[in-house]
Structure formats: C-alpha cells, structure tokens
Amino acid sequence: MLRLQAFKFEVMPTGEQQRQMRRFAGSCRFVFNKALAWQKERYEQGESRLGYAGLCKRLTEWRHDPETAWLADAPVHPLQQALKDLERAYANFFAQRADFPRFKKKGRRDSFRYPDPKQIKLNQENSRLFLPKLGWLRYRNSRNVSGMVKNVTVSQCCGKWFVSIQTEREMAQPIPKGGAVGIDMGVARFATLSDGTFYAPLNSFKRHEKRLRKAQRAMSRKQKFSNNWKKAKARVQRIHSRIGHARRDYLHKISTTISQNHAMVCIEDLPVRNLSRSAAGTTEVPGRNVRAKSGLNKSILDQGWFEFRRQLDYKLAWNGGWLVAVPPRNTSRTCPCCGHVSADNRQSQARFECVECGFEENADMVGAINVSRAGHARFACEVSDAVRPPAAGTRRGESARVG
C-alpha cells in the first residue's frame, strides 16, 4: 500500500529569506495571471487553448524578455508549477468540478512549490530544510517526517511562513479494527454515534465572534491602505486564523479517534451549500425568518461538516476501513423500532417519539441508528454488485442491455 502524506511545519526564516520568499510567491502569482490573461486573449481571438508544454515555452520567453527579466531571479520549477496549477484549474472547469480560473491577488494564499526532490535536503536532526535559492531554513520540528520526500510547498498565512513536505512510503495493508458505526451530524451535538457516543460542538467562531466584530469595526474606521488600516487588517486575519486552527485541530482529534476504532463509518451525504443558503429571498418574494436562518447558517458553517467528512475519508483508507455516505432523507423521522416514517415523530429538536409504537429516544441518536442501517444496506449492495458475475453474452465491465 502506497501512502502519500504531508507534514506541515512553521519555518523561521531570516529577514533576507523572507524577502526572497515574498519575491518568489509574487513571481509565481505574476506568471499565473499573465498566462491566464494570455489564454483569455487567445480565446477571444478564436484560437485554441495552449497546454502546459506551450505555456512553458512562453515562460522561457518571459524570462528572457528585458521587461520581465526579473523572473529569472526566481527558481524555474516553482514558476512551472504555477502553470501546472493553471492547467489543472482549466481541467477542473471543463470537467464541471470548479468555476472558471480567476486571477490571483496579492496576500491571498501566497505560495510556491518545489517539485524536484533531488533539489531538496531535509535535516531532521538539526531541524533544517534546504531549498533552491533560499538556502537552509530552520523550522519548528514538532514530529518526525516519515517516507521519501516528493515535493515541498512554501506558503504564507497571517505573516507566518509554513512548509508542507509531501512524502511517499510503502506500508503493509492495514487491518481495520472495530465494527461499524453510523454518525448523525448536528448543531446542538456536533456528531452523535449509533453506539451512544456523542461529541459536543466546539463553536470556535462563536467563541471569537465578539473579538472579531470589535476588530472589524476598528478596521472599518481606518483610512483604507494606511499603516493603521494594515495593522487592523492583520489583527482581523490573526483572529480568523485562530478560529480556523482551533476548528481543524478539533476535527482532526475526533476523526482520528473514530477512524482508529471503527472499520466502517456511515455518514449522511449532507448538501452543506443548500443547508446554509440564505433565506433573504428577493424584493418581490422576501424570505421568512431571515434572522433565525442566518444564525442557523452561521452555526452550520462553524461546524466544518465537509472538512470532517474529508478527514474521515482518507484516515479510514489509511487504516483499511470504509466510509459510506447515505442520503439524509427521513433519517431523523423514521422509527428504528417499527419503521414508521412521519414528521410528527420528531417532537422537538432533541426528542423523538414514534406516533405509531411510542418508541422514545434522543433524535440525534435515532438519526445515527438509521444512518448506520442505511449504510449497511448500501455497502451490501455495492459489494454484491462488485462480485456479481457478468450477464450471459456480455463482456466483463459491460452491463447487460435491457429490452
């Protein structure tokens, strides 16, 4: 089993190294925006879009052009990776997985990537990392890096620089531990498991909401782009960073515990974008309970349901387990005892009482049980379809024709 894993550390660069990293990130951003503008110009003229090889030829011309000769001061591989990112963005757009590529802005996700492991040196004993045209960088060595280094990404967040070291290593096929469990996601309870365990929500945004509101108001009173405005903006960014770090840390702890103790996890396939959609409506048809829905949307987005599912997915795969997503329809309205489905079964947000048989239980617990049963049924169908032999007259991998 081949395992890809990234290890992220904060780096402690010197003043000159910080200036160099800002230049390299700016050069990659310039190349990305220039290539995107050039692709748009070709499209308006009716010409076909160039691929990665054609863009690399243009990059060579830009590096030798007297107007953009400063691009030669940056390492060439990160500049080429910026073109690869643009090519991937176009591929995701045409596959309807993402929107059309947008121009990058200074200060937003500034980063650059070194793809050649031959140019990277990692000295874990002395907590140092060597990168081309940057030299040796000191980093906060919080854990050991396992595997062979594949690439290194340098990024900036709230004035701090980080390195993400992606490694690759061969591991024995893991044997999953534990049984199956269903999970019901919520706001009052972040996650309720079908075995009775539940996790309270962290609500990291709600904890820092007053501080964030105060900092944003202070920033709004400053003259835009002044020194005081930049200081106030950095304060707002630090609060947002703390909110995100606390949320990710909490999700990592819960997802690690669940993935290590269960072989199969059944979870609801929640449409978070639809659930958190605004209820304001339009001028002609205004919405109802807009203020209450706005608070609910804020609480839903504060939980990080999609990130939790993403972490569960790859951590279960690392441990040899399975993640099964089931439709969320009627999971909290179906009685697990008699199977009766009714909206009247949900007496309140936390209380479930079946109007048919009188079964009573916590509503989140009932949802987790129903999710677990639906996941078992879905997993059994997928396994049976995978091992079912092909129909007579059809080749393997083809479905039999009907009619």
Residues known to be catalytic = 184, 268, 364
How far apart (Å, rounded) are the C-alpha atoms in residues 328 and 364? 12
Of 365, 329, 359, whose CA–CA distance to 345 is shortest? 359
Helices (H) and strands (E) in the chain, counts: 10, 14
Of 155, 153, 39, whose CA–CA distance to 103 is shortest? 39
Secondary structure element (H or E) that encloses residue 265, with its range: strand 264-268
CA 204 to chain centre: 17
Tokens of 212: 């964030």
Q: Which residues of 212-222 are buried (b: 16+ CB within 10 A; e: fewer)?
A: beebeeebeee
Q: Measuring CA to CA, how many Å separate 320 from each of 28, 166, 244?
A: 38, 21, 29
Q: Hey, what's the torsion of the CAs at 70, 74, 77, 81, to 10 degrees? A: -80
How far apart (Å, rounded) are the C-alpha atoms in residues 71 and 58? 12
On the 0-12 / 13-18 / 19+ scale of CB atoms within 10 A, 102 is exposed
Of 276, 274, 305, whose CA–CA distance to 293 is shortest? 276
220: Cβ contacts below 8 Å, ≥ 6 apart: none
Sheet holding 180-185, edge to edge: 198-199, 191-193, 180-185, 264-268, 322-326
* Contact predicate 169/11, CB 8 Å: no
Name the E strands within 106-202.
111-114, 121-123, 128-131, 135-139, 148-157, 160-170, 180-185, 191-193, 198-199
How far apart (Å, rounded) are the C-alpha atoms in residues 283 and 59? 49
How far apart (Å, rounded) are the C-alpha atoms in residues 384 and 372? 18
